Amino acid sequence: MATSQRRGVQLILVLGMLASAALLTGCIGQGQYDKLYETNSSLTRRNAELTRERDEARAQIELMRRSVGSNAGTLSDLQRQNDELRRQLEQALADYRTLEQRIAAFDFGPVDAETDQALAALAAQYPDLIRYDPARGMLRFASDLTFDSGSDAVKENARQALGALAQILNSASASAYDVIIEGHTDSQRIANPATLREHRTNRRLSAHRSIAVIDELGKLGVASDRMMAAGWGEHRPAVPNTASGNTPQNRRVEIFLVRSTGSRRSTESAEPAPTPTPTTPSGPAIDLTK
């Protein structure tokens, strides 16, 4: 564009000189003069157009230069965000491995005879709701610790069984045990927007439910420093998940009694929980829903 502009200016100068020479020598007619004038006017307009195009091109180049600088800043911000997310993920994985190591270090096994008898009696009292594994010192709650779909709030029909369990945990024979509460889900994805706002993943949902059980037992007098919550989500299924992921057997809460691994620092006192009125469950078992 700059070359065309220079040529236009040069042509105007040449024509102007020719016109002047012709006028001085008196050898040019009026028609030729008019033609030269029109050509000069046309070239002047063309020169103005070229100047405008040049200015527009410069403005576009400057705009592009600024855009490139802005994009570079945006890319840098995205890189920093990505680095921070990677750091958080690495920390979460490290915490997860630490949790696995801690759980692996616990002595899961048979409990003393008195506690074993009490836990077996509890399971017998709620045969459709609780299963007891004496070899592991574990109670598996299926239907008594039911939750509304996507909720971590313990339903009312679970509180009576928790009351009976709290009384066992507060007994002299069981006082030497810590309580590990593990939440599990099936592999069905969380789709409800309201649930996603509270529990973004199955792991979070299972952990939040374990914490809810701890809160309930704490209200019933079990010392908080005896209890630990873990959430496995769908990663420790009891049975293979179905193709749809909807597998009720895998939606469960498991409570382990393990020998205490350290001194307790809490000063809270555990008050004996009231003795629940024995009842015999009737009707079909209620599935533990997500």
How far apart, in whole angstroms, are the C-alpha atoms of residue 179 and residue 227? 5
pLDDT > 90 fraction of the chain, expressed in percent and rounded: 34
Q: Three-class SS of residue 250?
A: helix
pLDDT tens profile 200-225: 899 999 999 999 999 999 999 999 99
- Which one has a higher pLDDT value, 83 or 134? 134
pLDDT value of residue 268 = 45
The identity of residue 160, as a single letter, is: Q
pLDDT value of residue 60 = 82
What pTM value is reported for the model?
0.57
How far apart, in whole angstroms, are the C-alpha atoms of residue 69 and residue 72? 5
pLDDT value of residue 122 = 94
Q: Please identify which residue in the block is written with the tokens 């459709």.
A: 128
How far apart, in whole angstroms, are the C-alpha atoms of residue 79 and residue 59? 30
pLDDT tens profile 216-269: 999 999 999 999 999 999 999 999 999 998 888 899 999 999 998 766 654 444
pLDDT value of residue 287 = 38
Q: Mean pLDDT throughout 41-64?
A: 80
Confidence of residue 81 (pLDDT cuts 50, 70, 90): confident
pLDDT value of residue 264 = 60
Helix (H) or strand (E) holding 207: helix 202-219
Q: Mean pLDDT throughout 279-284?
A: 35
